[in-house]
Structure 1
Amino acid sequence: MNSATQTLRPQLDRARRAWRGSPLPAFFAWWGGELRNLLPVRWQSFFSGGNVWCLLHHHEGQWYVRRSGQAQISAPWSDALEAPEQQGLLNAAVADVDRQDLRLALCLSQEAILHKRLLLPEAARDNLRQIGAFEMDRQTPFRVDQVYYDLREVPGAAPVGRIAAELVVAPRAVVDAKLEHLRNAGIAIDAVDLCKGDARLGVNLLPPEMARPHRDPRRRLNLALAAAAALLIVLCLGQWLHNRQEALTAMQTQVDDMRGDAQKIALLRKQLEDSTSASGFLAKRKTDSVAIVDVLQDLTARIPDDTWLERFTIDSAGRVGMQGQSAKAASLIDVLQSSKLLTGANFQGVIQRDPATNKERFFMDAQLRNPATGKPAASSSAGGSP
């Protein structure tokens, strides 16, 4: 174990204890079991990984083994057999367990174990094994070098600021004899525990340096699979972002096209409105104005034969100007008063007699009348002399 691992060991132990003390392991175990039960029977064994604890018992010179939590035991064998024979019988007893998942625990009897319940400060939670060594002389009749021990936190009521813990102690003389026999038989174990019913209690009296090392060949595969899964997640997220950007670009293009179409439609609508306004203006102007032809026809019908016009004008405001000669110019006012197209006829200036024609020269103006309303109206076009 290198210095970096030793430095991180307290943090790792703290994280393991926090994980084991949380309800998550039980939940995931239940959830995984439920999912595993949905698979075909042949496939369930492939997904039943994890440590499988098998308990070794020694009683009156006989060894037998059983799986933790199960009452069924294997056929016993004598501790007087040769090491290869004992190893073969042990392997036969645990043949249904994957070697990578197999964990062996030497199970001691209750008579060989000393239990002690302690109340410790919460700060001791991270260094329980060291606290157990310090408390050994005060809590037991043994010194720390005379026993194998373990101190674990147990659930239960405790005062505020303190935790409940259980100190489990076994004399070295009792344990060493069994460990020596197992070493001679070539059998390595992972823990020294005691049984609670058909299962192990959950302590490990074996010091960490005496536990057999385990190399998990599946760890590298699991790490590779985890890295591949993380890479796939990143790729999926990248693909999702790429697809989102592509969709956003396509939508932006559609929006730009629709905006261009909308601008074209707005321009066409404006042109249509302008055309409609212009046509409406022209139609209204045509409706509100009087045609010059109609004015000329009206004047032709009303002016006497001894009167002729030398000049005739209509401006944009509908103002009519007439200049000519007549035998009786003064009577023209009365003649034009009955006109439906002209109103406000009046002479401009003085009526003079032309010596050449012996006619009265006059200049008159009038205002065009709107035939529909009778009010003054503008002319549809300007006129000049006829």
Structure 2
Amino acid sequence: MSTLPPSPPLGRERVRQAWQGSRVPAFLAWWGAELQTVLPPRWRAWVGSGAVWHGLRRDEQDWVLYRMGQAQPLARWRAGDDAAAQQAAMHAALQAVDREDRRLLLLLDPHEVLQRAVSLPLAARGHLAQVMAFEMDRQTPFTVDQVYYAVRELAPVTASPAGHFRAELLVTPRRKLDPLLARLAASGIVIDAVDLAEGDHRLGINLLPPTRRPRRADPRRRLNGMLAAACVVLLLLALGQYLHNRRQVLNRMQAQVESMRTDAQEVVALRQQLQDNAGAAGFLVQRKQRSPTMLALLADLTRRLPDSAWLERLSIDAAGQVGLQGQSQRAAGLLDALKGSPLITGAAFQGAIQPDATTGKERFYLVAQWRQAPAAGNAPAASGSAP
């Protein structure tokens, strides 16, 4: 009976595979390495990624410790030594690396691992481990309970059929790996991953099942999380401060615009008032220029009325109507006397002419209209000679 590994969430697995298949991780790693080169050595060690991988390889009866990427071994000790001696040799080689950053890798020789390339449909990309567990009996001479295995996706080739991708199944028997792991565990050496040696580097897989992988607490993770949260909070505060400043500037500008609009409205009102006042003043000036004076009217009436006539009352209302009340020896001739006046026009008697028994004269009440002078624009053109 086969034991299937637990299936990770499909969405998270797809995201992980898409991330690993993209060029972003390699770019970030290169970028981080370039940034670290410009830092002082003390800061460089402090901001480093933390995990430093070392490979442990079996060489006949000896264990050889390498730093990944370096061909020169760091330490070598006999597999038959006691646990204290083995741990002392390993700690002496790793003393320059912080304890929380040490990661130990058991490197297997290529002849100890069965490698098989398979072609799978694209639907199996999200759960390779489960698919290979079902295919283990058909692809290898082992069952899934007899081996430790790992699956990795290979680069596409032109010969791959449409709708399929290439993957590589790597298998090692448990009966060979378990004694090595048990011997290392008895010596107090904890293995973080089991991988395949590829020159001075590793292939990039982990044959250990998830249940046997040690859980290491990363002390920098909490600090990095706090720093990331602080950066987010500071970024939000900076954005909030920026928006607050912009809002204040906008409020000040709106207040200035409102003040200028109020001033502009006051200027328009004052200009309109000035125009109205100027128009009214001009109208009064024209009215005054067009209207004859009272002295001119009295002088004209004095010249035209005969000496036998005298006025008891002279009135002028707002409409320009002139009222003449008095006595004359021959009142009917007053209309002819006033007919050519340049100041009044339309003279006519109001009521009947009545004789006065006391004076022996005729009492009359005559009304006329005060003649308005023509406007400057409507005045007739002056003749060549003076009148």
TM > 0.5 fold call: yes
CA distance in 2, matches of 1:280, 1:72: 111
One-letter amino acid matched to 2:307: D
Q: Which moved more, 1:145-154 or 1:98-107?
A: 145-154
From 198, 205, 208, the counterpart of 1:206: 208
The answer to whether the 8 A contact 2:67-2:74 is kept is no
Q: SS state of the match for residue 124, structure 2?
A: helix
What's the counterpart of residue 58 of structure 1?
58
Q: Which moved more, 1:194-203 or 1:137-146?
A: 137-146
Which residues of structure 1 form unaligned runs of 5+? Answer: 1-5, 376-386
CA distance in 2, matches of 1:145, 1:8: 20
Q: SS state of the match for residue 100, structure 1?
A: helix
What's the counterpart of residue 70 of structure 1?
70
Deviation at 1:27, TM superposition (A): 3.4
CA distance in 1, matches of 2:209, 2:267: 87
Q: Which moved more, 1:43-52 or 1:281-290?
A: 281-290
Report Cα offsets for 1:134-173 as digits up to 9, x if no partner.
Answer: 2121111223333221112233244444332110012334
Q: SS state of the match for residue 174, structure 1?
A: helix
Deviation at 1:225, TM superposition (A): 4.0
What's the counterpart of residue 124 of structure 1?
124
Report Cα offsets for 1:8-43 as digits up to 9, x if no partner.
Answer: 766655543343234432333233334333433331
What's the counterpart of residue 26 of structure 2?
26
From 162, 167, 171, the counterpart of 1:165: 167
Matches within 5 A, 1:1-386: 13-157=13-157, 158-232=160-234, 279=281, 281-373=283-375
Q: SS state of the match for residue 118, structure 1?
A: strand
Deviation at 1:268, TM superposition (A): 6.3
Q: SS state of the match for residue 358, structure 1?
A: coil
CA distance in 1, matches of 2:297, 2:261: 54
Report Cα offsets for 1:40-65 as digits up to 9, x if no partner.
Answer: 33312211124222111222333322
Q: Which moved more, 1:47-56 or 1:188-197?
A: 47-56
The answer to whether the 8 A contact 2:66-2:75 is kept is no
CA distance in 2, matches of 1:33, 1:296: 115
CA distance in 2, matches of 1:18, 1:35: 26
CA distance in 1, matches of 2:74, 2:144: 35
CA distance in 2, matches of 1:340, 1:168: 132
One-letter amino acid matched to 1:313: S
Deviation at 1:209, TM superposition (A): 2.4
Deviation at 1:128, TM superposition (A): 2.1
The answer to whether the 8 A contact 2:75-2:90 is kept is no
Q: Which moved more, 1:76-85 or 1:252-261?
A: 252-261
TM-score normalized by the length of structure 2: 0.79
CA distance in 2, matches of 1:276, 1:235: 60
What's the counterpart of residue 378 of structure 1?
none
One-letter amino acid matched to 1:146: Q
Cα–Cα, structure 1 residues 8 and 245, in superposed 2: closer, same or farther, change >3 Å? farther
Cα–Cα, structure 1 residues 280 and 92, in superposed 2: closer, same or farther, change >3 Å? farther
Cα–Cα, structure 1 residues 292 and 30, in superposed 2: closer, same or farther, change >3 Å? farther
Q: SS state of the match for residue 87, structure 1?
A: helix
What's the counterpart of residue 382 of structure 1?
none
Report Cα offsets for 1:58-98 as digits up to 9, x if no partner.
Answer: 22333322222333432433333332222222223233333
CA distance in 1, matches of 2:291, 2:41: 102
Cα–Cα, structure 1 residues 9 and 371, in superposed 2: closer, same or farther, change >3 Å? closer
CA distance in 1, matches of 2:219, 2:373: 111
CA distance in 2, matches of 1:154, 1:24: 18
Q: SS state of the match for residue 343, structure 1?
A: strand
Q: SS state of the match for residue 365, structure 1?
A: strand
Report Cα offsets for 1:341-361 as digits up to 9, x if no partner.
Answer: 212223344444434323233
Deviation at 1:266, TM superposition (A): 7.2
CA distance in 2, matches of 1:275, 1:355: 56
CA distance in 1, matches of 2:166, 2:367: 124
Q: SS state of the match for residue 63, structure 2?
A: strand
One-letter amino acid matched to 2:318: S
Deviation at 1:368, TM superposition (A): 1.0
CA distance in 2, matches of 1:36, 1:291: 105
What's the counterpart of residue 381 of structure 2?
none
CA distance in 2, matches of 1:96, 1:12: 36
TM-score normalized by the length of structure 1: 0.79
CA distance in 2, matches of 1:324, 1:79: 157
